[in-house]
Every structure is written in structure tokens, then in C-alpha cells.
Amino acid sequence: MLLVDAHLDLAMNALNWDRNLDLTVEQIREMEAGMIPQKGRACGTVAFPEMRKGEVGLSIVTVIARTSWPDSPATGAACQEISYAKAQGQLAYYRCLESQGKVRMIGTKSELEDHLGNWQADPDTTPLGMVLSMEGADPIVWPGQMQSWWKDGLRIVGLSHYGFSAYAHGTDTEGGLRGEARALLKEMEQFGAVLDTTHLADLAFFEATDAFDGRIMASHQNSRTLVDGVRQFTDEQLKRVIERDGVIGAALDAWMLYPGWIKGETQPEVVGLDAVADQIDYVCQLAGNCKHAAIGSDLDGGYGNEQCPRDLDTIVDLQKVAGLLADRGYADEDVRAIMHGNWIHFLREVLPD
């Protein structure tokens, strides 16, 4: 079954971690064996051969390059100009892959339809389809630069990541929008860019969604009711995304799936992919339908399978989610919607002609 994954940090893994994603996951693990005990090394889960084997024919891929701000708990570049250059380097990686026919960057409705048709006809040789997102908006140095990024193919923007950015408070901080956030949101509206609400601090989430009239989503976001913690969304936040006709992708990071997880101590054996199905089911129950739940795995987002559900070895295993949902009584049509249909429907609505 075609799987759409709404959050993969592929360029970060390639440029920051020096991973050749043309190799298999096992080959990359072997190359990194001597790097243990560095977090995430020798236990990666994502590479292009496994994406193809797992039928991840379409994904939302990131550029991510935080800036280090005074009093922010997160690290980053010395200034936004450096963040911009780093993010442009990540974009160059995707473009190089595209020029080789390995991937296809998708920025319009027609490109999406063409890709889906090609994938259905020949999934073995069709390039992997990718939509460009930015996780943390520091690489947009000033609001007017959104025009340049739009021309570069950027279609989805998250204002902040961990700590805070020039534009908003994010995970592990408390606060709202910052600096020229509202001006950036207006620029995004003008071009039709989507606001990814993932990682926004609570106040920033509500201020941003109040100020922004465009489409919103939550690419990799779980429920705070099921697993407590500021990284997760409250029911009120999830409902706002649903009411704005957005889609919410369940994330695979184990500490977002298991209550009481202690980083560095709790082992992945305590949680399985059934917890991912729990997150998906929770969104469906909250919405009253299956139109807003999907997958945004965040696999290899700074960690590996040492921090994933026990029954996930590589991204191929995301296909198990379909069976788990079917076992819970989900109809085939609803399973297909969650595995790919909801994200495709969303992209069909938000991408430009």
C-alpha cells in the first residue's frame, strides 16, 4: 500500500550526519558501528532502498537549520544568515538527487497528480516524491524572503522547533509569537504556504493560528491526553487543526508514545506500534471521522531505533500500522485514507496549480 509520511529529515541526515541515503539502512549501520555510543548512530531506520521497499512513495521532507538565540535552550547557528545558508545547502542536496532521477520535488497540483499516476503505474522505478517543508523558520531571514523560498519550492513552514526561533516560541519554552512573525504569516498567506503547527509552544500555537488565515496542519504530532508533556498537543489544539480541515500525523518517537518515558533509561521494548495506532485512533475519535489522522513518522529525527517502538526496525515497518488499524475494525477505505489518502487530499487542496 502506498504510504505518505509527512515528516522526514532526510537532508539533515545526509548533511549533518554524513549519511549516504542511497545505501541500505544495514550498510549505513555498519559504517556507523564505531560511532557508538553517540545517540542515534548505527541504529538508523531510513534510507532510500527501505523507503521504496516500504512503499513510501510520497513524503514531506525538511530543511532544518536553527539559529542560536540568547536564553533559548536549543543550539543553532550564530545568526540567521548562516541558518539560511545551511538550509539552502540542504535544498541543494534534494535538487542534486532530483537531477539524478532519484527523487522528484513536488510543488504544484499537476506535479502531484503526475507523480501519483507514475507511481501507480510503475512504483519500482518512479522517483520518490517529496514536498519541501521547513522545520523552524530561522532560515527565512526576513519576512519578504518568503518569496525567494517559495520560488525554491518551499510549500510548508513551521515557525519554530526546539527552543525558540526569530518568529515563535517552540518546544521546551513558554511564550507566543516573536519578532516579525505576523508579517511572515501574511507573506505565507499571500503565496499559499501551509503553516505546520508542530513544535509550537501552547501560546504560540494559538496566537499563530489566530493570526493566520491560511491552511494549517500538524506534520508529526501526538496527543497530550494519551502521553503527557509539552511536546504533545492538548485536545483543544488537536480540535483546532481538525476544525481548520488540517491533518495530524502520528509521530514515532517512543517518548511521545509511552507515558513516563525517561530519556536515556527507558528501553524501546516497553512500547509497540500499537501505541501509534492509539494516537491515530484518538484523533479519529476526536474528529468523529477518519479524515484528519495520518502518519508523520519523524524517523531518524535525531534518534534511531533505540528510541522507536520495539516492532519497528526500519521505515518499512510503518506498513504494519495498516494491519493494526484493520484489527481494530477500521474499514479498508479508512485504512487507506490514514496511510495515504488524507495527506494526498490535503496536498491536492493546498498546492498551487
Domains, the chain: 4-350 (3.20.20.140)
Per-residue confidence (pLDDT) for residue 249, from 0 to 100: 99
Residues with pLDDT less than 70, the chain:
none
Residue type (1 letter), 206: F
Per-residue confidence (pLDDT) for residue 164, from 0 to 100: 98
Per-residue confidence (pLDDT) for residue 331, from 0 to 100: 98
Phi and psi at residue 351, to the nearest 5°: -70, 145
In whole angstroms, what is the distance from residue 139 CA to residue 187 CA? Answer: 15
3-state secondary structure of 52: helix
Strand partners, 196: 217
User: CA angle, 13 as apex, 69 and 352 as ends, to 5°?
Assistant: 80
Per-residue confidence (pLDDT) for residue 25, from 0 to 100: 98
Per-residue confidence (pLDDT) for residue 263, from 0 to 100: 84
C-alpha cell of residue 106? 513536488
Collect contacts of 112-117 with beta carbons under 8 A, ≥24 apart: 112/344, 112/347, 112/348, 112/351, 113/348, 115/57, 115/58, 116/58, 116/344
Per-residue confidence (pLDDT) for residue 264, from 0 to 100: 82
Quick one: which of 156, 151, 236 has its CA closest to 188? 156
Helices 109-121/342-350 angle, 10° precision: 150
Per-residue confidence (pLDDT) for residue 162, from 0 to 100: 98
Task: Look up the pTM and report it.
Answer: 0.98
Per-residue confidence (pLDDT) for residue 56, from 0 to 100: 98
In whole angstroms, what is the distance from residue 205 CA to residue 200 CA? Answer: 5
Per-residue confidence (pLDDT) for residue 36, from 0 to 100: 85
Quick one: which of 245, 235, 236 has its CA closest to 213? 245
